[in-house]
Amino acid sequence: MESNVEILAEALGGTEYAPGTTYLNTASTGLLPARTVTAMQQAITAASVGRPTDMFADVEASRASFARLAGVPASRVAAGASVAVYTGLIATSLPAGAEVLVADGDFSSVVNPFVVRGDLDVRSVPLEALADAIRPDTALVAVSAVQSADGRPADLAAIRAAARAHGARTLVDASQSAGWLPLTASQDDFTVAVAFKWLTCPRGVAFLVVPEDLGGLTPVFAGWVAGEKPWDSCYGPVAELAHSARRFDESPSLFSYAGARHSLALIEDIGPGNIQRHNVALADRFRAGLERIGQQAMPAPGSAIVSVPGLGHRQGELGRAGIELSDRAGNLRAAFHLYNSTTEVDKLLDVLAG
């Protein structure tokens, strides 16, 4: 029986995604839909003959689409290329000695920009203890909504409540959740996300969500695109910075954004809630199958990512069998997305069972 998402995908054309393998590696890189590939090819071809399209319009369409997915106005969304750049921007806004609370083993782009500043107090605790570890002198809590290494979801509701109680701000990295887990960026001070994973965009696309008052951030890397009137801001100091989060834009990877607007539109059309139900059902099927063959996944209830301790060494064997996944610190990591099916889950289990 087809899942809800498979029915919706068929209604949208049925040929948007065409994996050449059993592709269970979206936590590393998502597959590009056909509409995105076509748009990028057309943009490249137009540029090659000296008739480029207006790819800045693609940036604005992508910003608006992500804003709708995040549940915030487009004026709160900056468009760039890197989570680490935006985390670094937030790091520059903190006073010397400020405490930043992070989760043990979180992705380096969420942690390292605070560490390399050298004058911040970066404190790391287990993910499950994050909310309880927030204290009155905590300035910022920075955490991934879903852990890259093993798929564990953070208890964002508890973290937000504790942060508000102690006057701390929150920074959530949605790179491993945006696209399959509905976003509620309005509930956090800052949200960052790359789009080349679950949002199935090309590499070179990332977003930052800031508060309505722009969060007290100084646009330290502002170039001409950060001007209220960019084409009047090409020379000398920018006379007037954008009045919106666009003042934090990086100079965009235009060909990537030419495709991204179409990927984001597809995710909007299908709906992250529908994708979540599909993905988690596949992940749960895999977890149950692992138990039947004597294996145990790392606990990550409700996640589309499943990590199996001690099986990372079988990545090569699985690759030869036409199944793409990741080896992360000796663990085998499978990530299930809208282009996957129950048949692929069963194929993976069959190979693992020998």
Query: Is CATH 3.40.640.10 what the domain over 47-269 is classified as, yes or no?
Result: yes
> Pick the residue with more confidence: 341 or 11?
341
The mean of the pLDDT values for the chain is 94
Instruction: Find the mean pLDDT for residues 150-163.
Output: 98
Instruction: Find the mean pLDDT for residues 190-206.
Output: 98
Q: How far is CA 200 from the centre of its chain?
A: 10
What's the pLDDT score for residue 2? 52
Tens digits of per-residue pLDDT, 217-276? 999 999 999 999 999 999 999 999 999 999 999 999 999 999 999 999 999 999 999 999
Longest dimension (CA), the chain: 66
Torsion of CA 240, 185, 181, 261, to 10 degrees: -20
Tens digits of per-residue pLDDT, 328-337? 888 999 999 9
Instruction: Find the mean pLDDT for residues 162-179.
Output: 98
pLDDT > 80? residue 325? yes
Burial of 25 (0-12, 13-18, 19+ CB in 10 A): buried
User: d(Cα 292, Cα 350) in Å, to the nearest integer?
Assistant: 11
pLDDT > 90? residue 281? yes
Tokens 């749960």 locate to 284
pLDDT > 60? residue 6? no
Instruction: Find the mean pLDDT for residues 153-178.
Output: 98
pLDDT band for position 18 (cuts 50, 70, 90)? confident
What's the pLDDT score for residue 10? 54
What's the pLDDT score for residue 52? 81
User: Residue 78 pairs with which residues in a beta bridge?
Assistant: 208
What's the pLDDT score for residue 53? 82
Q: Which contiguous run of DSSP H or E holds residue 274?
A: helix 272-292
pTM for this predicted structure: 0.94
Query: Are 345 and 286 spatial neighbours (Cβ–Cβ below 8 Å)?
Result: yes
User: d(Cα 193, Cα 160) in Å, to the nearest integer?
Assistant: 18
What's the pLDDT score for residue 86? 98
pLDDT band for position 164 (cuts 50, 70, 90)? very high
Q: Which contiguous run of DSSP H or E holds residue 173?
A: strand 169-173
pLDDT > 50? residue 63? yes
pLDDT > 70? residue 7? no
pLDDT > 50? residue 12? no
What residues does each domain of the chain span? Answer: 4-32+271-353, 47-269
Tens digits of per-residue pLDDT, 294-313? 999 999 999 999 999 999 99
> Taking the alpha carbons of 200, 204, 205, 210 in that order, is the dihedral positive or negative?
positive
What's the pLDDT score for residue 354? 86
CATH code reported for the domain at 4-32+271-353: 3.90.1150.10
What's the pLDDT score for residue 11? 45
What's the pLDDT score for residue 4? 56
